[in-house]
Amino acid sequence: MSFFAKATFVVGASLVASSLSAQDLTVRLGHVTQTSHPFHIGAQMYADKVSELSQGSIKIELYPARQLGDDRQLLEGIQLGTVDMAVISSAIFGGATPLMDSLQLPFLITDYAQLAEAFTSDEGKALLDGLSDIGVAGLGYYEGGQRHFLSKADTVTMIDDFSGLKTRVVPAKLHLDIWQAIGVSPTPVAYGEIYSSLQTGVLDATEINITSVEGEKLYEVADKLTLTGHYFWPGVLAANPGFLDRITEGQRYILIKAAEETIAPQVQAASEQDEAALTILKEQGVEIADFAELDTMRAKVKDVSASYEALDPRIKAFADAQR
């Protein structure tokens, strides 16, 4: 059972009381995005909720914008115990476990309301449980924003328009498989290098969320956005298990409970941020287009989804629950 799931099996009031009599606790929490990004908003919501529940006795110190390392380094830090907590893009877990790939099977989850339900479902919690096998305590999920397609030279509206485009893809097997099936030339580039890679021509395009286009000012070097909505971009609120074992039971309860109570509000906030960021992009002169052949795009990635669902019954159960 994950630390997140355990929150529903303890007597909260007495544990909170015990935490208030304990020595004050400071927790370092890192993530890779700018402070305008939904991941940071979620981390701030979490810090505020922890402070509220602990009456200020637990302080979450936030380290945004890769101050504690990129996603891969944050995951390693959580496993080694050099990082207390982090919000880590789910795609990065693919090198250690396929479970988090469930969250990004293409076109499986289509809107934010469905996403919030999926994050708090029994099937979603079962995926968090599985992270204990790789030395990670999964407390919950936050959302970074539904993904679309940003390009430099031409607006992409038809399936053939993807052909050969040097497209930034997260260096994760699922994403490489998806975009190879669609027909681009997948080009793994670190998140912090997308701007310069678009600027210098290393990249022709990137699949990305709207708030990152706005927050990282990618519209300065690529100004054609196609609304494909191919998958969402979940982040896992993760903690080092040894750190959670060392603190008091009351403190642990508060960290878990705060995660549980901020998932749905953060997903709603991410949805609202999408709308606000899209307005800003339009004001900046970004060309916004709908993709005309979504059914064809879905057909191209159908076999990819099936192959990942076959990897673990928990992945299949999660996918079936969304249909």
CATH number, position 133 = 3.40.190.170
pLDDT of the residue at 3: 52
123 shares a domain with 29: yes
Q: Which of 6-20, 95-109, 269-283 has the lowest mean pLDDT?
A: 6-20
291 shares a domain with 152: yes
153 shares a domain with 115: no
Judge whether 280 lies within some domain.
no
Six-digit token string for 230 = 């191919």
111 shares a domain with 54: yes
What is the number of helices (H) and of strands (E) in the chain?
Answer: 13, 11
pLDDT category of residue 49 using cuts at 50, 70 and 90: very high
Assign 149 to helix, strand or coil: strand
Q: Terminal CA-to-CA distance of the chain, rounded, Å?
A: 25
Identify the domain containing residue 37 by its residue range. Answer: 3-145+233-275
pLDDT of the residue at 10: 47
Six-digit token string for 67 = 């101050």
Between CA 218 and CA 221 the distance in angstroms is 6
pLDDT of the residue at 18: 55
Report the domain count for the chain: 2
pLDDT of the residue at 21: 53
pLDDT category of residue 17 using cuts at 50, 70 and 90: low
249 shares a domain with 203: no
Work out the average pLDDT over 245-270.
Answer: 98
Between CA 241 and CA 135 the distance in angstroms is 7
Q: How many CB atoms lie within 10 A of CB 15?
A: 20
89 shares a domain with 23: yes
Judge whether 216 lies within some domain.
yes
153 shares a domain with 205: yes
Cα–Cα nearest to 235, from 78, 31, 95 = 31
Work out the average pLDDT over 70-83.
Answer: 97
70 shares a domain with 214: no
Reported pTM: 0.91
Work out the average pLDDT over 109-115.
Answer: 97
175 shares a domain with 43: no
Work out the average pLDDT over 198-214.
Answer: 96
